[in-house]
């Protein structure tokens, strides 16, 4: 039987994952809707507008998410300071 601390940790992780998934789906829907509205200004047929509108949400959202993750990783890597270990001095065997 898991202890209470482990149970709370698992619940917190699940909650963050669920909220992240809901947030991503909302962002994807907003991007899809904005793309559809932008394409509505063109003379494209309804089927093509719907196709590109639905396709654009997950595609552009994923590209944007990967760009954000890449930028954050580069910033974290730039803050990381790696100090090399000093080399041992050679022993004199005279």
Q: Is 1 part of any domain?
A: no
C-beta separation of 9 from 23 below 8 A: no
Q: Does any domain span residue 87?
A: no
Q: What is the pLDDT of residue 2?
A: 59
- Quote the pLDDT of residue 47: 92
Q: What is the pLDDT averaged over residues 2-23?
A: 84
Per-residue pLDDT tens digits for 70-90: 998 998 888 877 777 778 777
Residues 39/17, Cβ–Cβ less than 8 Å = no
Number of domains observed in the structure of the chain: 1
Residue 85 belongs to some domain of the structure: no
* Burial (CB count within 10 angstroms: exposed 0-12, middle 13-18, buried 19+), residue 39: middle
Q: Is residue 31 a part of any domain in this protein?
A: yes
Closest CA to 31 of 1, 61, 9: 61
Going through the chain in order, the beta strands assigned E by DSSP cover none
Does residue 94 sit within a domain?
no
Query: What distance in Å separates the CA atoms of residue 53 and residue 60, rounded to the nearest whole number?
Result: 11
Domain of residue 47: give its range: 8-79
User: Region 23-38: what's the mean pLDDT?
Assistant: 90
């Amino acid at each position: 039987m898991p202890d209470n601390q482990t149970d709370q940790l698992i619940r917190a992780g699940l909650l963050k994952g669920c909220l992240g998934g809901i947030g991503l789906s909302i962002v994807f829907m907003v991007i899809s809707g904005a793309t559809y509205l932008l394409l509505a200004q063109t003379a494209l047929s309804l089927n093509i507008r719907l196709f590109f509108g639905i396709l654009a949400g997950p595609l552009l959202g994923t590209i944007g998410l990967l760009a954000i993750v890449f930028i954050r990783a580069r910033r974290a890597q730039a803050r990381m300071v790696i100090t090399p270990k000093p080399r041992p001095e050679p022993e004199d065997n005279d």
